[in-house]
Amino acid sequence: MLAKVYVTLRNGVLDPQGKAIHHAATTIGYQGLTDIRQGKYFEIAFDESVNQEQAYEQLEKLAHDVLSNPVIEDYKIDLTTD
Amino acid sequence: MLAKVYVTLRNGVLDPQGKAIHHAATTIGYQGLTDIRQGKYFEIAFDESVNQEQAYEQLEKLAHDVLSNPVIEDYKIDLTTD
């Protein structure tokens, strides 16, 4: 079972890394860019010993406690079974 | 127009950061995890001056030349119009 977790900065939280990429890209000629924000992306694989419900429960906890800082970041969990 | 770009390490490329998260998560009690890989995630906004085709063209170039290192990383572009 493969899960994807996306961690992004909350709206309103300054993203200097994204701003730097935006500025650099505009400087070297990319057009029409209004904003770039950078986040984190995790691919998490589970073995057969956990079912989808257990996996989702663990993912919620893992995303909240380990992968993100809930004060300034949001996370999204995408759990696919294949 | 909002685009999402996912940058991941190619298969076979060692991911020490992912391995460290995997090890830490297993140590503090998460079960059934077989692998964690970390990547990057970008949200890129375009203004009205570019159409979808132009945006996609720029995204391909930006993802290949700026956001990723094609020697060790793959990227995926997800362009939604809203």
All residues at 6 or more sequence positions from B27 whose CB lies less than 8 Å from its CB, including other chains? none
Work out the minimum CA distance from A32 to partner chain B, whole angstroms.
Answer: 5
Is the interface score ipTM higher than 0.90? no
Instruction: Examine the pLDDT at A80 and tell me if it is beyond 90.
Output: no
The torsion angle over the Cα atoms of residues A59, A67, B39 and A39, rounded to 10 degrees, is: 110
Distance, in Å, from the CA atom of B60 to the CA atom of B54, rounded to the nearest integer, reads 10
Domains of chain A from N-terminus onward: 2-80 (3.30.1280.10)
Q: Does A46 touch chain B (CB under 8 A)?
A: yes
Where do we find the tokens 């090890």? B23
Q: Does B31 touch chain A (CB under 8 A)?
A: yes
Taking only the tens place, the pLDDT of each residue in A26-72 is 999 999 999 999 999 999 999 999 999 999 999 999 999 999 999 99
Q: Do B8 and A41 touch (CB under 8 A)?
A: yes
Quick: pLDDT tens for B25-63. 999 999 999 999 999 999 999 999 999 999 999 999 999
Tell me if chain A has a CB within 8 Å of the CB of B39.
yes
Distances B65 to A45, A50, B75 between C-alpha atoms, Å = 29, 40, 11
β-bridge partners, B46: A33
What residues of chain A lie within 8 A of the CB of B55, using their CB? 32
For residue A80, count CB atoms less than 10 angstroms from its CB and return exposed for 0-12, middle for 13-18, buried for 19 or more.
Answer: exposed
What residues of A are in contact with residue B41 (Cβ under 8 Å)? Answer: 6-8, 38-41
